[in-house]
Amino acid sequence: MAIFERLIGRRRVLQKKSKNKYKVTMHATNRKEYRTILAMSFGSLLEWYEVFLYVYWAPVISELFFVASSKLMSTFYSLLIFMIGFWARPLGGIFFGRIGDLLGRKYALILSITIMIFPTLGMGLLPTYEQIGILAPICFAILRLLQSLPVGGELPGAFCYFYECARPDRRRYMIGWGSVGSQLGMAISLVESKLMEHLFPSDVFLEWGWRISFIFGSFIALFGLYLRKGLHETPRYQEMVQRHQRLKISVFQIISQYRRAIGKSCAFNLFTPAGFYVSCVIFPVYLSNFFGLEKSSLFMGLSLLLLGAVSFPFFGFLGDHFSNKKMLMGSVICIIFILFPIYFSIIYSCKTLLMLLLLVFGVCLSILMTLMPYRFVVLFPTPVRFTGVGFSFNVVDAILGSIITVLVFYFINLYHSLLPGFLILFICAVISLLGLMTIDETKEESYTKYTETT
């Protein structure tokens, strides 16, 4: 019961009234904290809902905007454009990171969700290849790049905001909420895309049905903007401004000064984006379109997304009370042992075993996705935190994750097998495990305390 009360943000305070009597009061998490969770989660939900509509409708987009010799290659080109957009995310992380460090976290988060509206609306209104020819895929690629810039500042901004607003004993728990909105947004886009495919006749859906979500999403972003405007600036940032500690230095100086922190982030976080994008994007699309296993692919993607959304705050709570290094290393080791059993379960259609292994895989991946952001945030002091996290997080999550995902799809196309994808995931997991072994939690905590006071 005590664990449950702490998990939902409540604690008992005993106030001594007399020698033998105590008054028990319940101090709930204040309204500002709940509003912060809602505003940050809704913004992430909206942005990642719009981004992953592109993923789940890759077959439709490839047919309308990309012309190739085969259906597989058309889908590959559409996913390649998706990944190219990911390569622009470090630029977005740096751009919004500098805004967040110099002008405020709140201002950067409001700007990111505002900019997101226009490219999303443009995707919903863009003419197809049949109407404007080669301009269609070019314009789609440009809109995808523009859409990626604010996304590059969204999750890093959320992680920094939660960290700086939370009590020291609740930081991992609060940071765990940072990815809940993104998981829910991706899950909603997955379910919506499947429902609309069944509700609309195929010709109507191809002509205009798929555009509804892009257009609708750009308008409901206004509600997210309203929620973001109600946010307050973080106490850490306000204290930094009062002490005149804002650092007006170049991005190159920040990258040079904190290159060790960036390198460490890349080392121990390599598997997390690769495991997520391959398991939630490539495999579901491949199973659905080229194996005809639509129900299995839908279950695989949706179960992993919902499991993450439900479990992130819980694993963040556990991370506040137990060794993060042991939790992270244990998760990676477990994934290494179950990767190939998952592969054989898919090949031989062992659905019961596959469900069990996917559950274990999802739990381990959720632990990684919950605690890894804290490892990013703790490496950078307040004056450069947003920029440092925005760059390092997106270098790992966007660039390395997208390259690995494209390689997996390429080898699947080349060998017509899922095995290369699992081999790549296995190598990434081993590298991450070696990186995690170098974590020194005591040293990093003392480093953060030092840099906050100097």
pLDDT tens-place string over residues 58-86:
777 777 777 665 566 666 666 677 777 77
Mean pLDDT of 267-292: 70
Answer with the residue of higher pLDDT: 396 or 447. Answer: 396
Q: Is the pLDDT of residue 178 over 70?
A: yes
- Nearest to residue 41, comparing CAs of 108, 141, 113, 131? 113
Secondary structure (3-state) at 350: coil
Looking at residue 25, its pLDDT comes to 29
Residue 101 pLDDT level (bands cut at 50, 70, 90): very high
Answer with the residue of higher pLDDT: 179 or 327. Answer: 327
Per the prediction, the chain carries an average pLDDT of 78
Looking at residue 217, its pLDDT comes to 80
Q: Is the pLDDT of residue 304 over 80?
A: no
Residues 44/51, Cβ–Cβ less than 8 Å:
no
Residue 95 pLDDT level (bands cut at 50, 70, 90): very high
- Nearest to residue 44, comparing CAs of 173, 159, 174? 159
Q: Is the pLDDT of residue 234 over 80?
A: yes
β-sheet bridge partners, residue 24: 14
d(CA 220, CA 228): 13
List Cβ<8 Å contacts ≥24 apart for 323-330.
323/441, 324/172, 324/371, 324/374, 324/375, 324/439, 324/441, 325/436, 325/439, 325/441, 327/367, 327/371, 328/268, 328/367, 328/368, 328/371, 328/372, 328/436, 328/439, 329/433, 329/436, 329/437
Residue 332 pLDDT level (bands cut at 50, 70, 90): very high
Looking at residue 297, its pLDDT comes to 58
Q: Is the pLDDT of residue 242 over 50?
A: yes
Domain 2-453, classified CATH 1.20.1250.20, yes or no: yes
Q: First CA to last CA across the chain, in angstroms?
A: 41
Amino acid at 374: Y
